[in-house]
Structure 1
Amino acid sequence: MLTTRGVCLNCFWGCLQMADEFERGVDAAVLKYVAIVAENMQIAMDVVANSAKSKVGVDTGALKADIKTGVEVDGVEVKGTVGNTLEHAVFHHQGTGIYATDGDGRKTPWGYTDPKTGEKVWTKGSKPNPYLQNAIDEEQGKITKLLGGG
């Protein structure tokens, strides 16, 4: 038995090997956990998207069709997103003019030519339809359960 200052070197090296194996096991477990959370995040985002699709106002169906989801994994951080990419989505969601959320819309009436009828239309704005936020609020219980908090 080789010793240095009363420490068995064979035992010391054995402990180091066990520590390395333990660390590799923990790393593998973390990766599996992150993968499970990412899968559950995608399911949660799909739940929100489906709920939002039932709440969005339908004129042409473009907003409903454009609701997209995504999940990003960066190390052990998992981030889910759900939303629209169409330019007019924010105006539909947050409202415009005097009805705009947080009061940051135009305060005076304005006119535009309706692209469907060609007629001049005067408006004070449109009321918000926060379909994404309403979907998140409505589905919060399911989201919490899917992500391990309930």
Structure 2
Amino acid sequence: MRLIYEIKAEKERRRSNHKDELGVRIQNLGNYSNPTADEAVLDVMLEGAINGLNSAEDALSDPALVQEFKRREYVIVMMADEYASFKRHLHALSVKEQELIIPLLKQKKDYYTLAEEAGVSVPVVRRKASHIHCELISYMENYFIEKL
């Protein structure tokens, strides 16, 4: 997930600020580094923060960055919710409507191919696809207006 990579890159950038001019990390007396364990712990913390199991403050200590990553996390959660809602409604369509709209959405077939397979003209297929598209948009608008 891109968000995890961005958080890791920011953590690495902040950690690199603690290096001297030769690029060698300054080791504190008695503190031993275990990069593999540190990365594994960070992965678990970030995944938990993204899934809402713990707070993003655990992953980052700078309040400005925490707010930025929380905003990005919120956007990702909203996008996932929108996609799940869209997918539910898409699969609630009739089989004929699914056979028409899904290949168009996946760009596997064009209007001409679908018209030929159905034995109808291209304008008929376009009208049907437009009707389904409008129905999907209307459903999505109503769904998210209710959520707000």
Structure (1/2) with the larger helix percentage: 2
Flag the structure with higher strand content.
1
Larger Rg: 1
The answer to whether the superposition gives a TM-score over 0.5 is: no
Which TM-score applies when normalising by structure 2? 0.38
Q: Larger relative CO (CA 8 A, sep 6+): 1 or 2?
A: 1
